[in-house]
Amino acid sequence: MDITTAQIKKYVDERTGISKVLLIVFFAVGVAGTAVDLTRDIFISLTPLALLLCFAAIISYHRSENSGKDAIVFGAILLAGFFVETAGVNTGRIFGNYEYGNGLGLKIFNTPLLIGVNWLILTYCTAIVADKLSVPGVLKIPAASALMVLYDLIMEQMAPIMRMWSFEDGIPAQNYIMWFVFALIFHTVIKIAGLRFSNRIATFIFIIQGSFFLILYLIFRFIQ
């Protein structure tokens, strides 16, 4: 029996829909579990799993004209993100004076191994989102970078509570400025490399992760 394009599209749509529902359930349970004192420690310990789950979903839905080139460029961004954070946390000269907790799992050089994955996920997802925006092409890189800073602005509010990281004397403006700078660099690398890729779930992951931190912030700010 011949498989038509319509049948393939229907299968992909159904698979994407199921993935989105599972992610909604996963993060909704995460919000509830993190908000409750009794279960907070358990759910904070699952943060690395959540990050890896999103990473796996992105890989699963990644479509590209040149997967080999993608792997090299994205691998470089992952490593660069890790080493930037390593330099930052050990010198205090990039993002300000901060230290990592245990919320992101195993650390080397005082830096979680997964922090590079976090940088890659955010760079990847914001590239997808910015590509869909109705803005001139020359503004897509700054737009994607601004989205990363907006996400960080929300995430920073929950980072200490979730034991991911914390600043010594509050979050300095320097942190957001340097986030924007490195976001610009990573997105420019993607542009210069000429990567052409699509992903049916990346925008959703960006939104649901951002919503996760925002909802938790509102709970802890106004209810707890």
> Quick one: 31 exposed, middle or buried, by C-beta within 10 A (0-12, 13-18, 19+)?
middle
Dist. CA 220–CA 215, nearest whole Å: 9
> Structural domain tally of the chain?
1
Mean per-residue pLDDT, 174-179: 98
Mean per-residue pLDDT, 5-10: 52
Mean per-residue pLDDT, 60-74: 94
Residue 2 confidence (pLDDT): 53
What is the per-residue pLDDT across 102-129, written as a single tens digit (0 to 9) for each? 999 999 999 999 999 999 999 999 999 9
Dist. CA 72–CA 70, nearest whole Å: 5
Residue 4 confidence (pLDDT): 58
pLDDT band at 54 (very low <50, low <70, confident <90, very high): very high
pLDDT band at 12 (very low <50, low <70, confident <90, very high): low
Answer whether residue 223 shows pLDDT above 90. Answer: no
Mean per-residue pLDDT, 22-42: 97
Neighbours of 54 (CB within 10 A): 23
Residue 16 confidence (pLDDT): 86
Reduce the DSSP state of residue 205 to 3 states and report it: helix
The position carrying tokens 């310990």 is 45
Find the radius of gyration of the CA atoms of the chain: 18
Mean per-residue pLDDT, 189-210: 97
Calculate ∠ Cα 170-181-91, nearest 5°.
Answer: 50
10 vs 169, residue with greater confidence: 169
Mean pLDDT (the chain) is 94
Residue 1 confidence (pLDDT): 44
Mean per-residue pLDDT, 208-214: 98
Range of the domain at 204: 5-222
Answer whether residue 10 shows pLDDT above 70. Answer: no
Instruction: Read off the tokens for 69.
Output: 């080139």
pLDDT band at 15 (very low <50, low <70, confident <90, very high): confident
Dist. CA 180–CA 126, nearest whole Å: 12
Mean per-residue pLDDT, 66-83: 96
Share of the chain above pLDDT 70, in %: 93
